[in-house]
Structure 1
């Protein structure tokens, strides 16, 4: 019952499929009554009359009864089939709802949540765990109605015999074995849930190594890691097999245990029937009714084990489904159509984890139209500073403002429409070139997309592709070179035409020819915009009108290149070190 209550909040998924569920429940009742009561009644009342010593029934009635037997079993079979079909139909829809809710939750959660978890494990939760929970809910809808009806019908018929037949009450002592069936169900259920939790976690690890290996396919081959990766995968799958077999060991032990108890009850009934002189017809009816009672007990026990597995899957899904969405729209948002681009950080502090400040007391204003470079050692806080502007993360204290208004006062969508981002690694989706550019401004025309591509010096190589703008780029843009992917990312930024632009070292991984194209495009792109350049190479900040120097989370200095070279030792050291490396 506790497991049933645990899943109860998720029965909302059944509302959309309530018609299928209603038909399935009706069919389950028909199946249960025909199995638990009709078959024993047939054994007691019909067969003895046919084979009685007094000559039995006329042949015409015998033929009618004989025809009724397959019809009764046909009713049972058809109702069972329809019940299973409609339950499975509902289950498929439930799986769709589950995965949509899970995927939607991942879209709403902050970057920190996703980045702090293994990608493969999140995938496993969204695929394997949702499938397990869907199977559990389907089984619950399937056997949760049908088997109790069979059990109640069988026990009800036994009770009826107890009140109407002499000697039968003592035979019903065989029913006392029924409560004993709860013992193996409870014991095995406790074992199954522990093993199921372990299995689901290990399945996530296996999916994780799959994902990691495929994303690093080139590195695996370059460093000759094929055997190492195979051994890692083998170790995880071996542990997964052990966990899976432990579940099988306990789950499959339930059926024999209940069957033994059922056989004990039937054996006891046999002895008592002999002692009390109960007729063979009544005895056969009791035996069939007892069997029809124990079979649903066995299946209800299996359902209990399935509920344990579903609970284990649910606990993993709830890590995502119940995670608070920390970054949300305000209740009364400030309207924002097009920002001027004036940025201000007012005493901003931020930490990814409690007690570990990545930014502390950052106080700076970046006027609209400023090209501002962010400089500092690795881990100094440059990327974090830029990521606070579109609210990818929430400030711990202080405020980030655009045009004098706290970014938390805007709708997230309105805020992010004001910002274009070009990252060091351009991420493309497995779609056409046209669709990958268009996603930055879905309402744009084809002419505007082409104009953006021309501005990014991408139009010529696009038209040379097999299908031009309709060419599929492959997963993560695998069909294109690094320079081509980056020019498509720039085309997105041109098409968005946002007043604020964030450049995360957009040319650092390119060859000289591609870099020349992109630098030329960038000079056009930054005109009239507030630009944050996360600089790892000093060659990329020559056009910056303002430079911020970060050191261990603090804003150490700000100014022009000439001012910082003269007055700031950290900036001068960083600049001279890189100048030495490039000579």
Structure 2
């Protein structure tokens, strides 16, 4: 079992500079947004001044019509600018989410296999979905708006200071108390949001686990237990959500009280100053208008503090994945370009391909700090040969293939392909030379064709039909009205286990690589299809090197050599007949399978 990665145990906090890094990608549009913010602020700040002139013209011979017309134009202009501003802001927010999702998807598919082994798939998916959506809220929730609103706030303060410094002082005293309370309380939101998103991630992982194994769960009568398990995760997420809501419930009244308190204070003190003749009615009305203009960006500030704190909680989970080293981070600096796959259209089947030699030299490997799975393992797979790996479960057979593919690297020793240590090759170059059929034979949701040409996207129809015929699957495909375009569901739903296995083998055959790795290729096949597949493997072995892991000895009895593994060590090497005479373990395996 792989151990959890250390990074998974120490999740970093979201940083504001990580958020601004996404914003700088859209600095052109954001520049336009800020220009519109300045323009909107100017149009808004001009309105109280015009209102002051309209009130001042009352009782005089001068007509207020020009000022009224100007006020109408200012209001309409501010509305138009606000609409364009909001559209650009929303578009930028969507662009930020797109950037975050692109980075996450690219990073997830380039993470080392050990990271995928240590993490739950549903939790990783939730980071692409719900966590990135919360980052979007940081923009639409007021971050950029707050920057533009700062201009209105500043302009309103200047106007209020010119009208009556005493009233301004009273207003700022009330507002300052509210600002301090919001900043202190919002700090709690970030940590709570992260905990809430982690709970949502666990819930998503649990749902993914249950849905992917729904047949097993129902057959085992465990449906109600799984529902209870998922409900417990949902309750945990609910609890954190309620705590976030509780902090938010404290913040919103603070904002309202600041507005209401400042308004009542201005109205009371301002009314007294008007009655005493220290302040004109028009100036008091203008001051109150400026106060309301100051209130809107103040609300934006409160909203921005809350939403940014919330977004940073989710952003910490995103950055946790983005900060992990990619699988190719340790590729050799002098790596070559990937070798073209013959089946991809670079060459016809078998053209330019020559078999390769594979050497295991004193290879040792352990998952994390666990016991060694392979210990000082050494043998050679001659070029053009078919070599089989057999042994009891847990002997390290599948791990050995993972090391060839460089899903993991050996802790000691080396694996050499035609004399070159595979660690001196880029993974892309190495894997372009290998066809790999996994034991579980995964099938991707989509069409049969998409699965078949995964490693050979340029393969033509005739090549596809040829490999399907080789694995005894062509008749099944032709019987479907959609043929190769027939749809398969998640995990190959709609195909039998044997059909999934044969499709995976056909995919490897179509790639037409010089080295083929087969992990239990006949595990899900009946005797008729197993016989047909033996013929296909013998045909595929012509002109290439084949390394095959098998429990069924009948699958590999005709191999050029058979390597017997036990507890991570090579105990015997030879042909089927030789091993029956020299290897007690091999004789025991053959006896259990009625081959002797």
TM-score, reference length from structure 1: 0.90
Which deviates more from structure 2 when the two are superposed, residues 275-284 or residues 398-407?
Answer: 275-284
Aligned-partner SS, 2:64: helix
For 2:163 and 2:413, how far apart are their aligned partners in 1? 79
Which deviates more from structure 2 when the two are superposed, residues 476-485 or residues 418-427?
Answer: 476-485
Give the match for residue 257 of structure 2.
260
* Structure 1 residue 171, shift from structure 2 partner: 5.0
For 2:126 and 2:214, how far apart are their aligned partners in 1? 20
* 1:124-145 deviation per Cα after TM superposition (whole angstroms, max 9, x unaligned): 0111111212332454553232
Over 3 Å counting, the alpha-carbon distance change for 1:253 and 1:336 in structure 2 is: closer
Q: Provide the alpha-carbon RMSD of the alignment.
A: 2.6
For 1:523 and 1:205, how far apart are their aligned partners in 2? 46
Give the match for residue 541 of structure 1.
556
Structure-to-structure mapping, 1:185-196, within 5 angstroms: 185-196=182-193
Runs of 5+ consecutive residues of structure 2 not aligned to the other structure: 1-11, 340-352
Matched, 1:6 2:21: no
Paired residues of 1:348 and 1:398 also in contact (CA < 8 A) = yes
Give the match for residue 493 of structure 1.
508
Aligned-partner SS, 1:181: helix
Paired residues of 2:446 and 2:489 also in contact (CA < 8 A) = yes
Give the match for residue 71 of structure 1.
73
For 2:74 and 2:167, how far apart are their aligned partners in 1? 30
For 1:420 and 1:228, how far apart are their aligned partners in 2? 41
Paired residues of 2:57 and 2:64 also in contact (CA < 8 A) = no
* Structure 1 residue 402, shift from structure 2 partner: 0.2
* Structure 1 residue 577, shift from structure 2 partner: 4.1
**Pick from 22, 30, 33: which aligns with 2:31?**
22
* Structure 1 residue 180, shift from structure 2 partner: 1.7
For 1:335 and 1:92, how far apart are their aligned partners in 2? 35
* Structure 1 residue 200, shift from structure 2 partner: 0.4
* 1:396-448 deviation per Cα after TM superposition (whole angstroms, max 9, x unaligned): 22211100001122232221121111223322233332332222222322222
Over 3 Å counting, the alpha-carbon distance change for 1:287 and 1:491 in structure 2 is: same
For 1:311 and 1:218, how far apart are their aligned partners in 2? 39
* 1:484-520 deviation per Cα after TM superposition (whole angstroms, max 9, x unaligned): 3322222222211212111111111233333333233
Paired residues of 1:439 and 1:492 also in contact (CA < 8 A) = yes
TM-score, reference length from structure 2: 0.88
Aligned-partner SS, 2:60: coil
Over 3 Å counting, the alpha-carbon distance change for 1:414 and 1:440 in structure 2 is: same
**Pick from 234, 237, 246: which aligns with 1:240?**
237
Which deviates more from structure 2 when the two are superposed, residues 460-469 or residues 99-108?
Answer: 460-469
After superposing on structure 2, the runs of 4+ consecutive aligned residues of structure 1 that deviate more than 6 Å are none
For 2:263 and 2:134, how far apart are their aligned partners in 1? 36
For 2:455 and 2:167, how far apart are their aligned partners in 1? 79
For 1:288 and 1:257, how far apart are their aligned partners in 2? 21
Matched, 1:384 2:393: no
Over 3 Å counting, the alpha-carbon distance change for 1:109 and 1:4 in structure 2 is: closer
Matched, 1:216 2:213: yes
* Structure 1 residue 204, shift from structure 2 partner: 0.5
For 1:296 and 1:269, how far apart are their aligned partners in 2? 18
Over 3 Å counting, the alpha-carbon distance change for 1:57 and 1:397 in structure 2 is: farther
Kindly tell me the number of residue pairs found equivalent between the two proteins: 567
Over 3 Å counting, the alpha-carbon distance change for 1:525 and 1:171 in structure 2 is: closer
Which deviates more from structure 2 when the two are superposed, residues 188-197 or residues 338-347?
Answer: 338-347
* Structure 1 residue 122, shift from structure 2 partner: 0.5
Structure-to-structure mapping, 1:13-412, within 5 angstroms: 13-35=22-44, 37-50=45-58, 55-58=59-62, 61-139=63-141, 141-162=143-164, 168-169=165-166, 172-273=169-270, 274-275=272-273, 277-328=278-329, 329-333=331-335, 338=353, 340-354=355-369, 356-412=371-427
Aligned-partner SS, 2:439: coil
For 1:571 and 1:301, how far apart are their aligned partners in 2? 73
Over 3 Å counting, the alpha-carbon distance change for 1:20 and 1:280 in structure 2 is: same
**Pick from 512, 517, 531: which aligns with 2:546?**
531
Paired residues of 2:14 and 2:319 also in contact (CA < 8 A) = no
For 2:237 and 2:69, how far apart are their aligned partners in 1? 52
